[in-house]
Amino acid sequence: MEKQNEVVLFGTWASAFCKRVELALKIKGIPYEYVEEDLTNKSESLLHYNPVHKKVPLLVHNGKPNSESLVILEYIDECWNNTPKLLPEDPYQRAKVRFWVNFVDHQIMARLLPIIMSRGEEREKAIKEFNELLKVFEEGIKKDFPEEFPFFERKSLGYLDIVVGAHFCNYEAFHEVVAVVFSPEKNPAMMAWLEALKNHPLMKEMLPPHDKLVAEMRGKYLGQSP
């Protein structure tokens, strides 16, 4: 007999994209099996189920694969629609949330690599540009969601909380290894939101341990072995 709702997530522990999916599954209370992938030696299953990108996260639901974290989040929200909603019910609010998630993914995240790759004055310039985008983001979400900021104080964690939290709650590791990019003086709204997210029980449970992440980042960005 075919198993009902068999959910398998292929991921890697340090990937914020994978954390997005794990958070969504936990918020919705969906039981799942987790498979840790070695990206230097990808499994047959990953290559078979995600032949286009060959990346994690990969979610296999009753044998049907889904890849790309944002696609997976929306799939989860639609499939398990009697659990807390990740996206708002109202189509316009939903569009706004998608707009800002897209802004984080394509604009803000893209400004991190120039910071990692540069040094000295060039890095200062890259940090300044990153902060300018954060300002746009902060002003934008305060304007679009005036009643809801920080979001989860009024409801369970949503789509934007997941994306922002999974990527930026571990900012202290980035500060330690690469550079200080967030500060309460420059980014008060973002910092308040991150502090609140960091204290959320699911975020605490899901985020990679600080020291392990620092060691991983030192290896990846600075070529230092543990």
Ligand X SMILES: N[C@@H](CCC(=O)N[C@@H](CS)C(=O)NCC(=O)O)C(=O)O
Number of residues that bind ligand X (CB under 6 A): 11
Residues whose CB falls within 8 Å of the CB of residue 225, separated by 6 or more in sequence, listed in order:
219
Cβ of 118: how many Cβ atoms within 10 Å?
15
57 binds ligand X (CB under 6 A): yes
Query: CB of residue 40 vs ligand X: minimum separation in angstroms?
Result: 9
Helix, strand, coil shares of the chain, percent, nearest 5, are: 60, 10, 35
Contact in structure between 23 and 165 (CB atoms under 8 Å): yes
Question: Which of 6, 33, 39, 209 forms a contact with ligand X (CB under 6 A)?
Answer: 39
Show the CA angle centred on residue 109, arms to residues 107 and 110, nearest 5°: 65
- Give least dist CB 22 to ligand X, A: 12
Return d(Cα 190, Cα 108) in angstroms, integer.
Answer: 13
Please state the closest distance from residue 162 (CB atom) to ligand X, in A: 12
Q: How far is the CB of 16 from ligand X (least distance, A)?
A: 7
- For position 159 contacting ligand X by CB under 6 A, the verdict is no
Tokens of 78: 């639609």
Is residue 162 a contact point for ligand X (CB under 6 A)?
no
In 22-129, the DSSP E strands lie at 33-36, 58-61, 64-67
Closest CB to ligand X among residues 56, 134: 56
Residue whose pair of structure tokens reads 């949503």 in the numeric block: 158
Q: Which is nearer to ligand X, 46 or 191 (CB)?
A: 46
Residues 6+ away with beta carbon under 8 Å from 39: 12, 56
Q: Which residue is nearest to ligand X (CB)?
A: 55
Give the closest residue to 159 by CA, choosing from 115, 79, 102.
102
Q: Which stretch binds ligand X (CB under 6 A): 50-58, 146-154, 179-187, 207-215?
A: 50-58
Per the CB < 8 A criterion, the answer to whether 36 and 13 are in contact is: yes
- Pattern 60-99, binding to ligand X, x per CB under 6 A? --------xxx-----------------------------
Q: Which range, of 51-59, 93-101, 162-170, 204-212, touches ligand X by CB under 6 A?
A: 51-59
Answer for which of 9, 15, 162, 164 binds ligand X (CB under 6 A) is 15
| Residues binding ligand X (CB under 6 A) | 12, 15, 17, 39, 54-57, 68-70
